[in-house]
Amino acid sequence: MGQLRGTIIPVTPFQQNCAVLWDDGSKQGVVVDPGGDVDRILAAIGEAGAEVERIWLTHGHLDHAGGAADLQEALHGVPVEGPDQRDEFLLQGLEEQGRNFGFAMRDVAPDRWLRDEGDAVTLGEHRFDVLHCPGHTPGHVAFVNHAARFALVGDVLFQGSIGRTDFPYGDHAALIRAITEKLLPLGDDVSFLCGHGPGSTIGTERHSNPFLR
């Protein structure tokens, strides 16, 4: 098994962190949260020399999933995995969400819905466990690679902040519960990539994030 490598492409005017991850030995790769700017994502894949086999979605917001259908088509139909099915209403409303912001986007239907506890996605021999972390959206998931001490947490936890819950379907209490019961127990040494802005570590956020006091 080779080393896990990655590059981040901030996409859309929301500057969402789309990630391309790959194994530096086999070159097998995945794209996480392709919100838009698909040409730039494809260029990053080419630069990495990665053979993308899957697209993973943390949740159904347009800045995370809005480019998934176009990217899937450009990559000859690779499967889309995630999020939890409770975000289906968002994924089926991407075209409409996009119109509201002046973006051309397409609805996407995942090939596989993800569930909590025991569910996992794989990048070659690298396993990422799935954690259902609702609150920002009902079906939000995070991906955790225990071997690499690394997680992709979407819009659940940020450096010094937490995900928005002021949507009609948002749930602040559920978000805090997901962070405290699922993310914090991963261990202080786990580093994470979030949906916007710089990443951090679980330990840093446990000790200094004002929303977790």
Ordered structural domains, the chain, with CATH: 4-212 (3.60.15.10)
pLDDT reported for residue 196: 98
pLDDT, one tens digit per residue, over 57-73 is 999 999 999 999 999 99
Q: In the predicted model, what is the mean pLDDT of the chain?
A: 97
Contact between residue 58 and residue 35 where contact means Cβ atoms under 8 Å apart: no
- Residues of the chain with pLDDT > 90, as a percent, come to 96
**pLDDT tens track for 83-136:** 999 999 999 999 999 999 998 999 999 999 998 778 999 999 999 999 999 999
Q: Got the DSSP string for the chain?
A: ---EEEEEEEETTTTEEEEEEEETTT-EEEEE---S-HHHHHHHHHHHT-EEEEEE-S---HHHHTTHHHHHHHTTSPPEE-S-GGGHHHHTTHHHHHHHHT--------SB---SSS-EEEETTEEEEEEE--SSSTT-EEEEETTTTEEEEETSEETTEE----STT--HHHHHHHIIIIIGGG-TT-EEEESBS--EEHHHHHHH-GGG-
Q: What is the pTM of this model?
A: 0.98
Give the pLDDT of residue 213. Answer: 85
